[in-house]
């Protein structure tokens, strides 16, 4: 399914989730009917409907919880039904035992509720074939729903998660630059910092979901590389948050000084250059190792000069800022080295490439 077709279908209410649910439920019914005839056909499609989620991982977790609840509820109902007839007492004992055991074992709440549902139904239709059919058909429904989730996926998933990581990286670089600038960008820096973290986290989450889909199997090398790059960028984001906290504690004449702006901008330029080189198909005319070397030289030069001009208290506070800035450079170096080990197949990420080229040519952009 291509992106244009998906958008047109959603206008008529045919969302990807709805398509997954209807296909999974229909195939589950057909599979059970061909295997068991007309006995309890509704459990498989019911399981397929209930466990189908937006991602394969979420569907798998819900399917496991449902199976655990069905098995435990079936066992408890067989034990209680062997000694008691259907009634208030038997239901009370059954729910106390089933839900009590599930809660004591720290089973997920979704499985606990399923224990109660299965126990009541199994006791009402107390017979061994019912329990067997219930477990088997639930398993069939879960498996078919997982397979449908792995096949029917949003179009262009890999390109989208890569674009999210690129946008988060460029926004992170802009946020770092704004921390030491006396302009409107300095007021927007905290918001940009939060937003960049959200984009990187969203990209990381969606990358993990893509590992379970069949259509992205050919992108597995690129996904590994992208996951590794995103992990490094999230560490850089944590360092930038610490830099923001340290700069906010500095006196204004230090935080907004020209030398501070120069050092911070050079460091942010390395972040943007790494993101452009790794996460887009834009051609980088500048060398990342050279940018890293220049940023580190600026840090050393300015910190050495400030040690002879500032008080010990100021040197201590400035040292915290420079220490975190150096950690950013070290993390970018590690990320760049790791990227040379796993070289993914080229995947076009057109959105953001033009901005990335413009950013690399002039330093940093202040607009996303």
Over residues 297-356, the pLDDT tens digits come to 999 988 888 887 878 888 888 888 899 999 999 999 999 888 776 544 444 444 444 444
Return residue ranges of the chain for CATH 1.20.58: 157-362
Q: What is the pLDDT of residue 68?
A: 86
Q: Where are the alpha helices (DSSP H) in 52-183?
A: 56-83, 88-104, 109-124, 128-151, 157-178
The span from the CA of 277 to the CA of 289, in Å, is: 12
The span from the CA of 68 to the CA of 107, in Å, is: 9
Dihedral sign of CA atoms 329, 231, 151, 154 in order: negative
Distance of CA 112 to the CA centre of its chain: 27
Q: At what angle do helices 56-83 and 43-51 cross, to 10 degrees?
A: 140
| CATH code, residues 157-362 | 1.20.58
Tokens of 355: 């901005």
Q: What is the mean pLDDT of the chain?
A: 80
Q: What is the pLDDT of residue 95?
A: 80
Name which residue leads in pLDDT, 297 or 358: 297
Name which residue leads in pLDDT, 266 or 223: 266
Tokens of 157: 């998933």
Average pLDDT on 147-151 reads: 86
pTM of the model: 0.68
Quickly state the pLDDT bin for 359 (edges 50, 70, 90). very low
Q: What is the pLDDT of residue 127?
A: 58
The helix/strand/coil state of 183 is coil
The span from the CA of 81 to the CA of 94, in Å, is: 9
pLDDT at 4 exceeding the cut of 70: no
Instruction: Please answer whether residues 334 and 274 qualify as being in contact, where contact means their C-beta atoms are separated by less than 8 angstroms.
Output: no
Return the CA Rg of the chain: 28
């Amino acid at each position: 399914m291509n992106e244009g077709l998906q958008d047109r279908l959603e206008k008529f209410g045919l969302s990807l989730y709805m398509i997954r649910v209807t296909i999974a439920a229909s195939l589950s019914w057909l599979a059970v009917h061909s295997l068991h005839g007309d006995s309890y056909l509704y459990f498989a499609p019911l399981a397929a409907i209930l466990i189908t989620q937006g991602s394969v991982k979420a569907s798998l977790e819900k399917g496991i919880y449902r199976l655990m609840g069905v098995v435990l509820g079936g066992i408890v109902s067989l034990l209680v039904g062997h000694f008691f007839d259907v009634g208030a007492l038997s239901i009370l004992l059954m729910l106390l035992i089933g839900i009590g055991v599930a809660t004591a074992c720290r089973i997920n709440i979704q499985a606990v509720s399923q224990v109660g549902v299965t126990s009541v139904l199994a006791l009402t239709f107390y017979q061994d074939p019912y329990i067997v059919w219930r477990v088997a058909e639930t398993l069939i429904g879960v498996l078919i729903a997982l397979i449908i989730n792995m096949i029917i996926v949003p179009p262009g998933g890999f390109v989208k998660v890569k674009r999210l990581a690129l946008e988060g990286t460029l926004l992170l670089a802009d946020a770092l630059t704004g921390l030491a600038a006396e302009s409107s960008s300095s007021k927007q820096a905290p918001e940009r910092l939060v937003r960049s973290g959200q984009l990187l986290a969203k990209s990381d989450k969606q990358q993990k979901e893509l590992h379970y889909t069949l259509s992205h199997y050919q992108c597995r090398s690129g996904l590994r590389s992208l996951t590794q790059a995103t992990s490094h960028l999230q560490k850089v984001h944590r360092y930038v948050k610490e830099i923001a906290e340290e700069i906010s504690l500095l006196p204004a004449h230090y935080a907004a000084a020209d030398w501070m702006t120069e050092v911070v901008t050079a460091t942010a330029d390395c972040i943007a250059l790494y993101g452009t080189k790794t996460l887009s198909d834009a051609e980088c005319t500048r060398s990342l190792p050279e940018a890293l070397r220049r940023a580190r030289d600026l840090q050393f030069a300015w910190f050495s000069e400030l040690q002879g001009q500032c008080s010990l208290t100021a040197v201590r506070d400035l040292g915290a800022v420079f220490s975190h800035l150096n950690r950013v450079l070290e993390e970018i170096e590690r990320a760049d080295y790791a990227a040379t080990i796993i070289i993914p197949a080229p995947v076009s990420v057109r959105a953001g490439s033009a901005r990335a080229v413009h950013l690399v040519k002039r330093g940093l952009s202040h607009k996303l």
